[in-house]
Amino acid sequence: MTPDLMIAGVMLVALILYTLTGGADFGGGVWELLAGGPRKDAQRRLIDVSIQPIWEANHVWLILLIVLLFVCFPAAFAAVCTALHVPLALMLVGIVLRGSAFVFSHYDPLHGRGALRWGGVFALASLVTPVTLGIVLGALGSGFEVDPRTGFVATDFVSQWLAPYPFAVGLFTLALFAFLAAVYLVCEADDPLLRADFRARALASAAVVGASALLAFLVAPPAIRHDLSASSWATPLHLATGLAAVAAIVALWTRRDRLARACAMAQVTLIVVGWAVAQYPYLAHPGYTIAGTAAPVSVLTPLLVALALGGLVLFPSLAYLFVVFKRRRAA
Chain positions contacting another protein, by CB under 8 A: 52-54, 56-57, 59-60, 62-64, 66-68, 70-72, 74-75, 77-82, 85, 88-89, 92-93, 95-100, 102-104, 107-110, 113, 115-116, 118, 152, 157, 295-296, 298-299, 302-303, 306-307, 310, 313-314, 317-318, 320-321, 324-325
Closest distance of CB 225 from another protein, Å:
29
Q: Is cis: bond before 281, omega within 30 of 0?
A: yes
Q: How far is the CB of 105 from another protein (least distance, A)?
A: 10
- Shortest reach from residue 235's CB to another protein, in Å: 36
Residue 217 or 325: the one with the smaller Cβ distance to another protein is 325
260 with 202: CB under 8 angstroms? yes
Count Cβ atoms within 10 A of the Cβ of residue 148 and give its class: 0-12 exposed, 13-18 middle, 19 or more buried. Answer: exposed
Residue 179 Cβ vs another protein, minimum distance, rounded to whole Å:
25
Nearer to another protein, 21 or 241 (CB): 21
Contact 182, 202 (CB under 8 A): yes
Report d(CA 287, CA 213) in Å as an integer. Answer: 26
**What is the distance of C-alpha 221 from the center of its chain?**
22
DSSP string over 116-150 = ---HHHHHHHHHHHHHHHHHHHHHTTS-BPBPTTT
**Closest CB to another protein among 110 and 331?**
110
Provide the minimum distance between the beta carbon of 11 and another protein in the complex, in angstroms, as a whole number: 12
Least Å distance, CB 327 to another protein, is 9
CB 125 → another protein: shortest distance, Å? 10
Q: Helix 85-107 to helix 55-72 angle, to the nearest 10 degrees? A: 160
- Residue 55 or 179 with smaller CB distance to another protein: 55
Q: Which residues of 150-184 are buried (b: 16+ CB within 10 A; e: fewer)?
A: eeebbbeeeebbebebbbbbbbbbbbbbbbbbbbb
Give whichever of 63 and 246 is closer to another protein, judged by the CB atom. Answer: 63
Least separation in angstroms between CB 324 and another protein: 5
Give the nearer residue to another protein in terms of CB position, either 223 or 318: 318
Between residues 16 and 277, which has the closer beta carbon with respect to another protein?
16
> Dihedrals φ, ψ of 295, to 5°?
-70, 165
Nearer to another protein, 250 or 291 (CB): 291
Q: How far is the CB of 150 from another protein (least distance, A)?
A: 9
Write the DSSP assignment of 198-255 as a string of letters: HHHHHHHHHHHHHHHHHHHHHHS-HHHHHHHHHSTTHHHHHHHHHHHHHHHHHHHHTT
Judge residue 218's burial from the number of C-beta atoms within 10 Å of its C-beta, 0-12 exposed, 13-18 middle, 19 or more buried: exposed
Of the pair 49, 214, the CB lying nearest another protein is at 49
